[in-house]
Amino acid sequence: MAHIKLEEGVPGIRGPMVFSPETTKPMREFVDVLLRGPHSTLTAAEREMIATYVSSENDCYYCQHSHGAAAAEHLNGNYELIDQIKRDYATAPVSEKLKALFAVAKKVQTGGKNVTTADVEAARAKGATDRDIHDTVLIAAAFCMFNRYVDGLATWQPEDPEMYKTMGKRLATTGYLTTGWERPVAKAEAK
């Protein structure tokens, strides 16, 4: 049971988002620009992969599965790649640049000060721009927030792969800004 009274049947972050519309508005705008905005030099798939990896390192079930599904749906349904990244990104078939950015994201996840000049230099050597490094640090930092929000309130996190798949499809196509998606999620999306 969640730590506060949240609407039943609304999974993960959507529970507290329904509870607190005032904070939800800037959070949705933030996550949409962060993961889908045109300013970034990282693809939406790459950004969702970083979000998924950090959420997996933070052991947040809901976030790693919803963003993992969004990443996979950006990649024509390649769920196997997402599993590989979470298990061991070093051996996953992704670019060397993305691997170096995962390493930066991992340092951010353990604490901002852990990011070293060497980590940043390694990413730069593989072609990462300042923009790539900035976005990686902010995505990793942001998921240290979202994961804590979801788990810190002990939200309901169903383990139905189909629900996450439906969610991932919607996130990959329409994004995070559309209103009215919060409910009734469990019933509508499990089908």
Among 43, 87, 90, 145, binds another protein (CB under 8 A): 145
Task: Verify binding: residue 170, another protein, rule CB under 8 A.
Answer: no
Task: Verify binding: residue 107, another protein, rule CB under 8 A.
Answer: yes
The three-point CA angle 47-29-75 to 5° equals: 30
Nearest to 70 by CA among 87, 47, 92: 47
Rounded to the nearest whole angstrom, what is the least distance from the CB of residue 26 to another protein in the complex?
Answer: 4
Task: Verify binding: residue 101, another protein, rule CB under 8 A.
Answer: no
Among 58, 64, 66, 166, binds another protein (CB under 8 A): 58
Nearest to 149 by CA among 48, 35, 30, 36: 30
Task: Verify binding: residue 98, another protein, rule CB under 8 A.
Answer: no
Among 45, 49, 60, 122, binds another protein (CB under 8 A): 60
Q: Which CB, 72 or 104, lies closer to another protein?
A: 104
Number of helices (H), then strands (E), belonging to the chain: the values are: 10, 0
Binding range to another protein, per CB under 8 A, among 72-80, 142-150, 159-167, 181-189: 142-150
CA distance 111 to 109: 6
Please state the three-class secondary structure of 24-90 as a single string. HHHHHHHHHHHHHCCCCCCCHHHHHHHHHHHHHHCCCHHHHHHHHHHHHHHCCCCHHHHHHHHHHHH
Q: Which CB, 72 or 140, lies closer to another protein?
A: 140
Task: Verify binding: residue 137, another protein, rule CB under 8 A.
Answer: yes
CA 157 to chain centre: 15
Site of interaction with another protein (CB under 8 A): 3-5, 16, 19-20, 22-23, 25-27, 29-30, 33-34, 37, 39, 41, 58-60, 104, 107-108, 111-113, 115, 117, 120, 129-131, 133-135, 137-138, 140-142, 144-154
